[in-house]
Structure 1
Amino acid sequence: MGNSVWKDTWLITIRSVKTTLRNPFSFIPNLMISAFFLLVYEGGLSGISQLPMFEGANYLAFILPVSIVSAAIGGAGGAGQGIVKDIENGFFSRLLLTPASRLAIVLGPIIAGMLQLFIQTLLIIGIAFLLGLEVETGFGGILFVLLIAIGWGLAFAGYSAGVALRTKNAQAAQAGTFIFFPLIFLSTTFVPYELIEAQWLKVAATINPTTYIFESMRTVLIDGWIFWDLMQGVIAIVIACTITITFAAVSAKKAVSRG
């Protein structure tokens, strides 16, 4: 049974990846937007790093997580879009008539979305290095940033898949993903928490899980291996993934029962 699940998941993941590659415009715009964020923010706001609160930190390393998280939100939405397309063209219903694992039917597009995000993140980090990125923790720090990005992408992919299975509508699945973009800006997006002046924005940043994703990435890029600062991002991912993957699993069960 276990081998069957893994085999089915592998086959459906490969199919989802091939489907994405056949339609590059499903992910190229998201990659371009993320790269645009990096270029514009670094070019227009890098002078902020001269403030004493930054302590001479490289603003490029500070703003890089914003570009990566925006890619995670957009890229992970591909999981939901893939499921909706399968529902609309009847492939999802045909899969339900086969012995394929029901878990694999949902996991395949989610894993494909994570792989897409992994490639996007590598490209964004490559652009950052071309712009002069310096990483305090070296290659190990880059690996940690990649793991955080993939974990955050998994959380969004689970949510996207759950919305797609609930609504079976492409527009609803897309809209369900985009509501998370405000989370990027209700956080420590451009300046450290200490420099945020509006009290309401400080409260929003405190309860916003994106803040802890940003801080864990920035810590490993700028400050080094500070255990608790890194673990805050890991904990935020574990909580988010638990909620969204459970949501996707429950939605999948209901979708399968409806046939």
Structure 2
Amino acid sequence: MNEQKKGSFFVDTMVYTKRSIVTIIRNPLIFIPNLIISLFFLFVYEGGLSGISQLPAFEGANYLAFILPVSIVSAAIGGAGGAGQALVKDLENGYFSRLLLTPSSRLAIVLGPIIAGMLQLLIQTILILVIAYFLGLEVAAGFGGVIVVLLLTLGWGLAFAGYSVGVALRTKNAQSAQAGTFVFFPLIFLSTTFVPYELIEAGWLKIAATINPTTYLFEAMRSVFIDGWDAWPLVRGFLVIALLCAITITFSAESAQKAVSSD
């Protein structure tokens, strides 16, 4: 009986994930503007700030490799947020309520758009990495380092998509759900965004960067881009990702339960 339930859960999850992916493909405006903005920032940061990599604190690191994680993470915030937007549409047109009447797992209904948002981000990240390669990116850890960056991106996308879906289920409003995703944008800039931690002068900004989970994601990605295989930044990065995923997926599951109770 348990095996049957597990099989049904995985089938349901695949079906809802496929539907969400088809929705994204049919509406390219969900992800194309976000991809363009992320690439625009990459070009601007690399073109306008690359000179500061000559400072001793950079230790000769390529500024493109230093700033690239910022472009990837910003793509995550805009891209994975589309999972919540798609769910809001289902809530507004009544489709989500009809799904709740089916015997499908409630968690599967929620995981569908979350996984689709995560996969969307993965494709965006691959495109960004390819363009960065043509701009001169060299990965110190080699191809294995690229795989690590993609795994970190998948984890971040899963965490943020879970948050986006949870907000959508709580608010049931497109504008509120979109505003909820914007809360994460300050996290990008309250971190080691443009310079290493050692070059941050404001005390309050150093404190913000220290408690900011984005800092550890940046450091993990930069370690494979610039330093090669350095275990500690990677361990911290994956631990932060695991914690965020646990929090946001739980948040989205509880939000789905409340949505069930109110419908």
> Which TM-score band applies after superposition, normalised by the shorter structure?
over 0.9
Q: TM-score, normalised on structure 1?
A: 0.99
**2:211 and 2:38 mapped to 1: Cα distance?**
24
- 1:220: which partner in 2? 224
| C-alpha RMSD over aligned residues | 0.7
Matched residue type, 1:219: S
What SS does structure 1 have at the residue aligned with 2:81? helix
**1:241 and 1:17 mapped to 2: Cα distance?**
21
- 2:162: which partner in 1? 158
Deviation, 1:235, is 1.0
Deviation, 1:258, is 1.5
**1:11 and 1:242 mapped to 2: Cα distance?**
23
**2:121 and 2:209 mapped to 1: Cα distance?**
24
Matched residue type, 2:41: F
- 2:262: which partner in 1? 258
Deviation, 1:79, is 1.1
- 1:126: which partner in 2? 130
- 1:65: which partner in 2? 69
Structure-to-structure mapping, 1:101-250, within 5 angstroms = 101-250=105-254
- 1:83: which partner in 2? 87
- 1:22: which partner in 2? 26
Structure-to-structure mapping, 1:26-45, within 5 angstroms = 26-45=30-49
Spell out, residue by residue over 1:170-218, the C-alpha distance to the aligned partner (whole angstroms, 9 max, x if none): 0000000011000000000000000001111001000000000000000
Query: How many matched pairs?
Result: 259
What SS does structure 2 have at the residue aligned with 1:225? coil
Matched residue type, 2:196: P
Moved over 2 A (4+): none
Matched residue type, 2:31: F
**1:15 and 1:153 mapped to 2: Cα distance?**
18
- 2:60: which partner in 1? 56
Matched residue type, 2:150: L
**1:63 and 1:169 mapped to 2: Cα distance?**
34
Q: Which deviates further from its counterpart, 181-190 or 98-107?
A: 98-107
**2:121 and 2:221 mapped to 1: Cα distance?**
16
Spell out, residue by residue over 1:29-51, the C-alpha distance to the aligned partner (whole angstroms, 9 max, x if none): 10001101111100001111111
Matched residue type, 2:121: L
Spell out, residue by residue over 1:150-169, the C-alpha distance to the aligned partner (whole angstroms, 9 max, x if none): 10111111111110000100
Question: 5+ unaligned residues in a row in structure 1: which ranges?
Answer: none
**2:24 and 2:94 mapped to 1: Cα distance?**
18
**2:184 and 2:153 mapped to 1: Cα distance?**
15
Q: TM-score, normalised on structure 2?
A: 0.97
